[in-house]
Amino acid sequence: MANAATSPWPEINYSAWKDTKETLQLWTQIAGKIRLTQTPWLNHSWHVTLYVNSRGLTTSPIPHGTRYFDIQFNFIEHLLDITVSDGGVRRISLRPQSVADFYTALMEALGELGVPVLIREKPCEIAAATDFSRDRRHASYDPEYAWRFWQALVQADRVMKKFRTGFLGKCSPVHFFWGSFDLAVTRFSGRHAPIFPGTAPGVAAKVMQEAYSHEVSSAGFWPGGGGIDYPAFYSYAYPPPAGFKDFAVRPAGALFSESLGEFLLPYDVVRKAADPDATLLAFLQSTYEAAAVLGGWDRAALECPSGSPAVCRAL
């Protein structure tokens, strides 16, 4: 396995890990739907997401009666760790296995731990998807690529959290949406948006409309898929202001995708840059400016200097 100390931005060949990515996306959807079922609704579906941590991806604590439990994809030991606040623990091997077998093992483990959960089995945001308990087609797991994917998330999460500190207005956490399988952070202008007209397989229209109830500039990282066959950072605005796609964004290599309606920056541009952090921050900042400048956001009220560790923000 590659050494994170010498290659913090690992190479990710989409064609080499496509099958693993598709299987892992469905596995994370099962964990995410468990959190969805147990957690009170939070604006913009922020209650359903996963989070990057020092071992992989975690649900964070999920309530079950008077107890908590959490589910973690551990990409170091390649285990699914389930822990309960009363001390209960189960570990499921992450290995080549069907979605149906993974689903059965996870649900049985939750039952044995005394935290049974029922979920809607139909995957979200995947066309013509099969219910989890019947899906025996997706069964790939390459531990090397699962690890690379997580390492890329670690770097993206770290830089996106830095970017988040430069905004005083409403802003999402940096979080992982298992439906679209991307890491995202979203800034809000504070103004209401027109009713969102878009749809997604397996997602109710009212959920999509609530997610885009207010004007946003949203950015994130896809590891491949979603209309592109390479990993990339993205940024879009809703509603997109006039001239958005023609705004001059940085760095060189960034482009506007007419089919997706958003700016893209190939992951390899960041990975191969002399200063990957600065390269990604330039993309995040300039694409946000495309939304904020053209959309007439109150930037003086919403923005602030980026934060530094242990230094209180000056007033």
- Walk along the chain (315 residues) in steps of 10 and give the mean pLDDT of each run: 66 97 98 98 98 98 98 98 98 98 98 98 96 98 98 98 98 98 98 97 97 98 92 98 98 97 98 98 98 98 97 94
Peptide bond into 201 cis (omega under 30): no
Q: Look at residue 4 and tell me if it is in a domain.
A: no
Q: Look at residue 110 and tell me if it is in a domain.
A: yes
CA–CA separation, 228 vs 143, rounded Å?
23
Is residue 75 a contact partner of residue 95, using CB atoms and an 8 Å limit? Answer: no
Q: Look at residue 174 and tell me if it is in a domain.
A: yes
Domain coverage including residue 65: 14-134
CA–CA separation, 9 vs 156, rounded Å?
9
Contacts of 283 (CB under 8 A, 6+ apart): 219, 233, 235, 249, 250, 251, 254, 263, 265, 270
User: Structural domain tally of the chain?
Assistant: 2
Same domain, 198 and 272: yes
> 77, 106, 134 — which closes off a domain?
134
Same domain, 236 and 270: yes
Same domain, 36 and 147: no
Q: What pLDDT, in 10s, does the model give residues 148-188?
A: 999 999 999 999 999 999 999 999 999 999 999 999 999 99
Same domain, 79 and 190: no
Same domain, 28 and 117: yes
Residue 177: per-residue pLDDT? 98
Same domain, 45 and 188: no
Q: Look at residue 168 and tell me if it is in a domain.
A: yes
- Look up residue 269 and give its two tokens: 């541009």
Diameter over CA atoms, the chain: 57
Same domain, 26 and 156: no
Same domain, 167 and 298: yes
Q: Look at residue 257 and tell me if it is in a domain.
A: yes
Residue 6: per-residue pLDDT? 64
Q: Look at residue 1 and tell me if it is in a domain.
A: no
Same domain, 126 and 240: no
- Look up residue 236 and give its two tokens: 């879009």
CA–CA separation, 34 vs 116, rounded Å?
10
Q: Look at residue 283 and tell me if it is in a domain.
A: yes
> 134, 155, 179 — which closes off a domain?
134
CA–CA separation, 292 vs 187, rounded Å?
10
> 134, 169, 190 — which closes off a domain?
134
Same domain, 182 and 224: yes
What is this structure's pTM?
A: 0.96
Residue 4: per-residue pLDDT? 45
Q: Look at residue 5 and tell me if it is in a domain.
A: no
Same domain, 271 and 228: yes
Same domain, 158 and 276: yes
